[in-house]
Amino acid sequence: MTTRVWSYLHEYEQEKDDILSAVEQVFSSGQLVLGESVRGFEAEFAAYHGLPHCAGVDNGTNALKLGLQALGVGPGDEVITVSNTAAPTVVAIAGTGATPVFVDVREEDFLIDPGQVEAAVTPRTKALLPVHLYGQCVDMAPLRAVAERHGLAILEDCAQAHGARQHGKLAGTMGDAAAFSFYPTKVLGAYGDGGAVVTASADTDEAMRQLRYYGMAKVYYVVRSPGHNARLDEVQAEILRRKLRRLDAYIAARNAVARRYEEGLGDLTGPGGLLLPATNPGNTHVYYVYVVRHPLRDKIIEALKRHDIALNISYPWPVHTMSGFRHLGHREGDLPTTERLAREIFSLPMYPSLSRATQDRTIEALREVLAAL
Ligand SMILES: *Cc1c(COP(=O)(O)O)cnc(C)c1O
């Protein structure tokens, strides 16, 4: 299976010299694995978050999986998360041997409903895995209260929320540890795969470093507990280092695209019709995906095909209904809001270098289709 990711090509045109010089720097450094660039990126990504620790890994899924393991999650444990997420969130939980437990999301922001979390806690619950989906943070204060009451760890899934803030705090600084993906389309994207776990805890960071390196304590090259080979690639780290300096500019550009959608479509919104993404009070949004909602979604998508507009659905199938998770015993209707959203949401083109012309074409086409419904 191949996945075409073309949105980076515009950016590559603009940043080519910098990206190629990053590759050249690593190739001529004599250190192709866990060298200066991984160390540098880890230090700078930790500093961006005002945290002391960051461990680079090979992708976001392993950031989540090793992050959970570093927090002590393993077979027999339960981890509470959402079904309205990218499947890798749940694949990572399953990869630790723990059982994913799903909580429904809120109508207004598509994020975990903190009010439903406590009812899902059992004696086996070990951790909460909130997903800052689409680019804004989950309401963290009530989750932290539940975690404290029940002695649970919190791992934030920040794969879609680089640089997002809640009451001034960055995504990734509000739990015990946070997992990031640097898949090329993400708000901070590599030119291939990459991931990282940031944390304030020296113990969690040490556990991460062992887990990504076969389970070895590096000083003695002795396996403490069999781990993985899940290192962040040196070339990707150097590219990420350079792109990190532009992260805030990417976020500003994504926000400008979002404002233009609001200007171009705002007058068409209303209950039972088109809904544009809302930003919760106290949050800043980084718009990883620009998710809109309409009860006649499938009809709209069909009509837009004639206009050659690239639309996505993030995500068309809730994870709890996927055949790979059938053993969890869920039935349709278990998570009504998640299931309804999967039928009604779609996303408009969103990336920092999206041209005005493409965006105008999208807005015009959507206006035309909605008027003809
Ligand atoms: C992209 C993504 C992941 C997985 O990251 P990879 O780098 O592709 O492994 C996990 N969780 C969420 C919410 C994501 O969007």
Mean pLDDT by 10 residues, the chain (373 residues): 70 96 98 97 98 98 98 98 98 98 96 98 98 98 98 98 98 98 97 98 97 86 91 98 98 98 96 94 97 96 87 92 94 95 96 93 96 92
- Report the chain's terminal Cα–Cα distance, integer Å: 36
Q: How far apart are CA 91 and CA 81, in angstroms?
A: 12
Same domain, 258 and 199: no
Q: How many whole angstroms from 200 Cα to the centroid of ligand 1?
A: 22
Nearest residue (CA) to ligand 1, atom 14? 159
The domain total for the chain is 2
Residue 341 sits in a domain whose CATH number is 3.90.1150.10
Between the CA of 219 and the centroid of ligand 1 the distance, in Å, is 31
Alpha carbons 157 and 53: distance in angstroms, whole number = 17
Same domain (yes/no): 193, 284: no
pLDDT score at 1: 45
Specify whether 192 is located in the same domain as 141. yes
Q: How far apart are CA 346 and CA 292, in angstroms?
A: 6
| Index of the ligand 1 atom closest to the CA of residue 133 | 13
Pocket of ligand 1 (CB under 6 A): 59-61, 85-86, 88-89, 131, 157, 159-160, 181, 183, 193, 195
> Closest ligand 1 atom, CA of 182?
7
Q: Report the residue among 89, 162, 180, 319 best suited for mutation to probe ligand 1: largest number of ligand atoms under 8 A from its CB.
A: 89
Whether residue 191 is preceded by a cis peptide bond, meaning omega within 30 degrees of 0, is no
Q: Residues 349, 274: one domain?
A: yes
The CATH number of whichever domain residue 97 belongs to comes to 3.40.640.10
The answer as to whether 108 is a domain residue is no
Q: How many Å lie between the centroid of ligand 1 and the Cα of residue 364?
A: 32
Ligand 1 center from residue 367 Cα (angstroms): 32
On whether residue 181 sits in a domain, the answer given is yes
Domain that holds residue 264: 247-372
- Which residue among 244, 265, 287 closes a domain? 244
Do 142 and 200 share a domain, yes or no? yes
Identify whether 10 is part of a domain.
yes
Q: What is the whole-number distance in angstroms between the Cα of residue 230 and the centre of ligand 1? A: 15
Count CB atoms within 10 A of the CB of residue 179.
31
- Same domain? For 159 and 285 the reply is no
Using the mean position of ligand 1's atoms as its centre, give its distance from the Cα of residue 85 in Å.
9
Task: Please indicate, yes or no, whether residues 148 and 86 belong to a single structural domain of this protein.
Answer: yes
pLDDT of residue 6: 77
Element (H, E) at 175: none
Residue 78 host element (H or E): strand 78-82
β-pair partners for 80: 101, 128
- Among 224, 244, 264, the domain boundary falls at 244
CB 318 within 8 A of CB 364: no
The distance from CA 190 to its chain's CA centroid, rounded to whole angstroms, is 14
Atom of ligand 1 nearest to the CA of 61: 9
Same domain flag for 314 and 264: yes
By most ligand atoms within 8 Å of CB, the mutation choice from 183, 197, 289 for ligand 1 is 183
Same domain (yes/no): 273, 129: no
Same domain, 142 and 271: no
Is 222 a domain residue? yes
**Index of the ligand 1 atom closest to the CA of residue 160:** 15
Q: Which atom of ligand 1 is nearest to the CA of 132?
A: 13
What whole-number distance in Å separates Cα of residue 139 and Cα of residue 119? 17
Question: Do 238 and 259 lie in a common domain?
Answer: no
